[in-house]
Amino acid sequence: DQQVKQNSPSLSVQEGRISILNCDYTNSMFDYFLWYKKYPAEGPTFLISISSIKDKNEDGRFTVFLNKSAKHLSLHIVPSQPGDSAVYFCAASARTDYKLSFGAGTTVTVRA
Amino acid sequence: DVKVTQSSRYLVKRTGEKVFLECVQDMDHENMFWYRQDPGLGLRLIYFSYDVKMKEKGDIPEGYSVSREKKERFSLILESASTNQTSMYLCASWNSETQYFGPGTRLLVL
């Protein structure tokens, strides 16, 4: 049973516009959330994280929002660039446990 | 800069063969992980290790085993490869903030 769900398998967005990726989780013990980016034939690379004590974390063009009551987080990419075309994975953990649970991923395509 | 390396990028094996996937990290991390990635399923945890000679089962350990004789090296073993083990295998190590991944090994079992 997947504890982290990314319900949109794909997203297409025009260059310069905002990309919004969504992620839902079911385990109330999760208190640390991460987003990874993956290009084909490469391993995932860490993008941004957020602890449950915050509801927003920003790093350049990337912002992650956390809504604990809804068990929902989202990643905003503004502005979207062609190099952002990749698969994005949402992941979650309980900090007492180093394991990560991953969503199925969302493939983002940025159109010129 | 953290580096996680995997011994092979691509492997082709026959059903029934014993397969070794090697992973090495250079940051003295205690925690290491093996995942497989399949379309529509994301990354699923096979095994992980908190320390040398320690191992814990992940979500899908059946058909796999692991070995951690040295801190920097974590090996995944397919005792008798089967076609449903065709996948992308990813190794990672953890530094208390995030997991760092290797480039992956794409395994094809014929």
Mean pLDDT of chain A: 95
Question: Amino acid identity of B36?
Answer: R
**B41 interfaces chain A, CB cutoff of 8 Å:** yes
Q: How many A/B residue pairs have CB atoms within 8 Å? A: 53
More confident residue, B53 or B12: B12
**Contact, A111 vs A14, CB < 8 A?**
yes
Q: Which residues contact A87 (CB under 8 A, 6 or more apart)?
A: A37, A38, A39, A105, A106, A107, A108
Q: Minimal CA–CA distance to A91: which of B105, B88, B92?
A: B92
Q: Is the pLDDT reported for residue B53 higher than 90?
A: no
Asked if A99 and B41 come within 8 Å (Cβ–Cβ), the reply is: no
What are B54-94's pLDDT values in tens digits?
999 999 999 999 999 999 999 999 999 999 999 999 999 98
pLDDT at A95: 76
Which one of B31, B90, B101 has the shortest CB-CB distance to A98? B31
Q: How confident is the model at residue A25 (pLDDT cuts 50, 70, 90)?
A: very high
Average pLDDT value for residue range B15-36: 95
Q: How confident is the model at residue B20 (pLDDT cuts 50, 70, 90)?
A: very high
What are B25-34's pLDDT values in tens digits?
998 899 999 9
Average pLDDT value for residue range A4-27: 97
Report chain A residues whose CB lies below 8 A from the CB of B104. 41-43
Average pLDDT value for residue range B21-50: 94
The C-alpha angle A20, A7, B91, rounded to 5 degrees, equals: 90
What are A59-105's pLDDT values in tens digits?
999 999 999 999 999 999 999 999 999 999 999 998 777 789 999 99
pLDDT at A77: 98
**B77 interfaces chain A, CB cutoff of 8 Å:** no
Q: Is the pLDDT reported for residue B98 higher than 80?
A: yes
**Contact, B105 vs B10, CB < 8 A?**
yes
Report chain B residues whose CB lies below 8 A from the CB of A42. 103-104
Q: How far B40 CA lies from chain A's nearest CA (Å)?
A: 5
- Asked whether the bond before B61 is cis by omega within 30 degrees of 0, the reply is no
pLDDT at A99: 87
Asked if B42 and A41 come within 8 Å (Cβ–Cβ), the reply is: no
